Amino acid sequence: MLCTNDKKVFEIARMLRSHGMLRESGNKNFEKKMQKKYFSLSPKFIFLYPAYNVRNTEIQAVIGINQLKKLDKNNKIRAKNLEFFLKNINSEYYFNNFLLEGNSNYAFPLILKKKNLKNRDLLEKIMIKNKIEFRRGNAGGGNQLRQPYLKKVIKNINLKNFKNVDHIHFFGYYIGNFPSLKKNKILKICQILNNISYE
């Protein structure tokens, strides 16, 4: 527990308990300022500090322990869901040739093949319109080398040496994959994504 009457300490502490994420600061003006400064990052996934994830409660721990009983079964379902998604996604537009051995992916990786910002913006617009929840940059805010917290630790990063990671940062997503997700829903998601008219 931390007590403070210092607004800045309060905001930093809120970020530190949650991966160092800007969005946890609770200060909208500060968030807007940092989003402008780090415009190449997904606004919801700007990590200002190397930090922790200390948001769990006892209730969540009880649920987590109980969920372990279903882990193997759920992992198999997730793996089958991912295979079905990749089989049905249009390989002309999206990468689908991933190594799947040993996977239990909690998300469907959706990565545009072409580096085209108009296509990317169109894809996001259509996913929002169709209520397909996604995160750009795949998981965790994309290319960590672009995150403010790491720039303080590693100096003189040449992003050209990390082309694949940067491609995923700007043109990669993940869409949730959960055990109760039915094949007809996965197929519908694929149909929506496959019917987008890209440049």
- Domain containing 180 — which CATH number? 3.90.1150.10
Q: Is residue 25 domain-resident?
A: yes
Question: Is 84 a residue whose pLDDT tops 90?
Answer: yes
pLDDT, tens digit (0-9, with 9 covering 90-100), for 123-177? 999 999 999 999 998 877 788 888 888 877 888 888 899 999 999 999 999 999 9
Task: Give me the amino acid identity at 24.
Answer: E
| pLDDT at residue 126, rounded to an integer | 97
Report how far residue 199's alpha carbon sits from residue 196's, in angstroms, rounded to the nearest whole number. Answer: 10
Instruction: Identify the pLDDT of residue 157.
Output: 84
Same domain, residue pair 44 and 88: no
Question: For residue 49, with 0-12 CB atoms within 10 Å meaning exposed, 13-18 middle and 19 or more buried, which class applies?
Answer: middle
Q: What does the alpha-carbon distance between residue 105 and residue 123 come to, in Å, rounded to a whole number?
A: 22
Has residue 183 been placed in a domain? yes
Looking at the structure, tell me whether residues 44 and 75 fall in a common domain.
no
